Amino acid sequence: MTQQQAPTPPRHRPKPGGIVFAAALALAMLGYAWSILDSARSTVDWLMILPAAGVGVIALAWAALRDAAALRAIPAAAKLPALKGNARPVALLVLICVYAASLPFAGFDLGTALFIAIALLIQGERRIWLIALNAVLGTGLLVWVFHDLLMVRLPTLLM
C-alpha cells in the first residue's frame, strides 16, 4: 500500500482581512473619483483623477479576486492563522499612525524612508540591502512624483 501525501499549501496564504481591505480601498477610490465630478474645475481634473482611480480599482479588485481564489484553495485545517502572525497587522496600523504623526517633524522624505524600511521589517524581510534599496528608491520616487509631476509642496527634510 502506498501512502498518499497531503497536498502542499500555497506559499502565499491570504487572509480575509486583506480582501476586505482591498474592497474598502477600492470603494474609497471610487468615492473620491465620484466626488471629483461635481467639484472639478475643468475636464483636465477628470482626466487626471478618473484614469488613476480606475486603474487603482481594477488593481485592487484583481488582487482581492486572486486572494479569494487562493483562500478557497487552502484546506480548512490550514486556514487557522497562527497567533504570532496576528501581531503584524496591528503593528502596521500602529506604524501608519506614528508615520502620519511624525511627518511634520521628520519631514516627508526621511519619514517615508523610515516607514518603508520598518514596514518591510515587520513583514519579515531580513535582507538589509533590499530594505535600504526599497526605502531610498521608493522615497525618491514619491518625492519626485509629488514635487515635480503633481507640484505639491511637501515638508521635506533632506531633498
Angle CA(141)–CA(47)–CA(31) in degrees, nearest 5?
85
Q: Render pLDDT for 97-132 as a digit per residue (tens, 0 to 9).
A: 899 888 888 888 888 999 999 988 888 787 888 888
**CB burial string 5-15: b at 16+ within 10 A, e below:** eeeeeeeeebb
Q: Are the C-beta atoms of residues 116 and 142 closer than 8 Å to each other?
A: no
Q: Which helix (H) or strand (E) holds 71?
A: helix 43-73
pLDDT, position 137: 92
pLDDT in tens, 131-147: 889 999 998 898 888 88
Q: Specify the DSSP element, H or E, that contains 32.
A: helix 16-39
* pLDDT exceeds cutoff 50 at 81: no
